[in-house]
Amino acid sequence: MSNVNESAPKWFVDALAAPVETGRVTVDGTSIAYRAWGEPDQPGIVLVHGGMAHSRWWDHVAPQLAVGRRVVALDLSGHGDSEHREDYTLEQWVEEVLAVAPAGGIAGRPTLVGHSMGGIVSYTASTLYGDRLDGVIILDSPIRDLTPEEREMRDQRKSSSPKVYPSVDAAVERFRLVPPQDTAEPYVFDYIARASLKEVDGGYSWKFDASRIGKGGRSSLDGTTAGCRIAYFRSENGIVTPELLDRMRPMFGPDALVVELPAAGHHPVFDQPIAVVTAARIVLDAWS
């Protein structure tokens, strides 16, 4: 399910060929899966995916951030290869993010990089445990509002059972980004779509808990302030308007770095992965 599309450029193929370790850590009785790149026992970063996504969304990005640092990408509970819970909260996901950092081989305080809902999880971590973090980089997260994935998961919850497809190819044909994004590189799209599936009775289904995620509301973040340094990457063609960004700025503190990713959609690892890597490297180097 992870064959590389023939249209993929060399940098992408090389990134997927980079050595990667897998592991698990138990957090409040639930097994959380993670992937890790780079030498262990180094300063490092934790990559936090968005809703309905998983750690392998970062497979082509993580190796390029692992020069001189340890990089860990987790599957939040209810996603990817991690176990499911009865209920999901931002605070519980924060505990999982903090647990995989030392378990995955990061020395010292990690930097969190979160996309969309993962950006909200990372921001929440900064408000609760800012003194345990080196910084947070947020990719196109509305913070004060529900993300498109959260709205979609609430709608998915209304269906009686997860969708099952007869084959991998049939499922890949139905794979969609939320919100839709026509600018995704086809080789990235195909790779992540295939990595998003699990074999079930009768065929294949997506690797997230459609029956429970989004069941309840989540706590409001209005009135909160980050407890560590923040860098915010706004996608030029994403979901965060300049007006919404202005309303969020007080939450980040006066010294927050704000970067615009040119021509990027809400899912920049799909259409502008090199821009994401470049911007993250610059911020990480400046902070170090």
Three-class DSSP category at 265: strand
Measured from the Cβ of residue 29, the count of other Cβ atoms closer than 10 Å reads: 7
Angle at 230 between CA 227 and CA 236, to 5 degrees: 145
CA atoms of 269 and 139, how far apart (whole Å): 10
Q: Classify 167 in phi/psi space as left (phi over 0), alpha (psi -120 to 50) or beta.
A: beta
β-partners of residue 276 are none
Q: Return the residue matching tokens 């030498």.
A: 39
Residue pLDDT tens, the chain, 288 long? 446 777 899 999 999 999 999 999 999 999 999 999 999 999 999 999 999 999 999 999 999 999 999 999 999 999 999 999 999 999 999 999 999 999 999 999 999 999 999 999 999 999 999 999 999 999 999 998 778 888 777 666 555 578 999 999 999 999 999 999 999 999 999 999 999 999 999 999 999 998 887 766 677 898 999 999 999 999 999 999 999 999 999 999 999 999 999 999 999 999 999 999 999 999 999 998
CA distances from 127 to 139, 151, 173 (A): 17, 24, 40
Element (H, E) at 141: none
> How far is residue 187 from each of residues 5, 72, 288, measured CA to CA in Å?
5, 23, 33
The domain 10-287 is classified under which CATH number: 3.30.360.10, 3.40.50.300, 3.40.50.1820, 3.40.50.2000? 3.40.50.1820
What's the pLDDT at 157? 54
Q: Would you list the domain boundaries of the chain?
A: 10-287
